[in-house]
Structure 1
Amino acid sequence: NGAGKTTYFNLISGQLKATAGEVLLDGHDLSSHGAAGRTRRGIGRAFQLTNLFPNLT
């Protein structure tokens, strides 16, 4: 619906770098940390795979 959900999660997880502002976790700016640094701080992301077993229904 274009509300920005995917962009929001991409920013939080470090998949997308913010062009302005900050990404804060417990008051700490994560903007300079990549995905690995955010994972060490407890932020993780899992992608939905819809076709794991294409030959099974």
Structure 2
Amino acid sequence: MNSGGADDFYSTLRRKIWRATFLNTTIAKIYHYCLIKIWINLSYANQYIFRISNG
């Protein structure tokens, strides 16, 4: 039995999965960062509007 082909297949698969996971985590981090920034900006805007409407 020649298991070289299977080993190559699994190493290629592992590399592809790793690359996909890396890309997904990078995108998730950027997305999370943007969401936090938007949330902070919205909360600041809400405080500002609240102050104007009550002031």
Q: Tell me, yes or no, whether TM beats 0.5.
A: no
Considering fraction of residues, name the structure with more helix: 2
Considering fraction of residues, name the structure with more strand: 1
**TM-score in terms of structure 2 length:** 0.27
- Higher RCO (Cα < 8 Å, 6 or more apart): 1
**TM-score in terms of structure 1 length:** 0.26
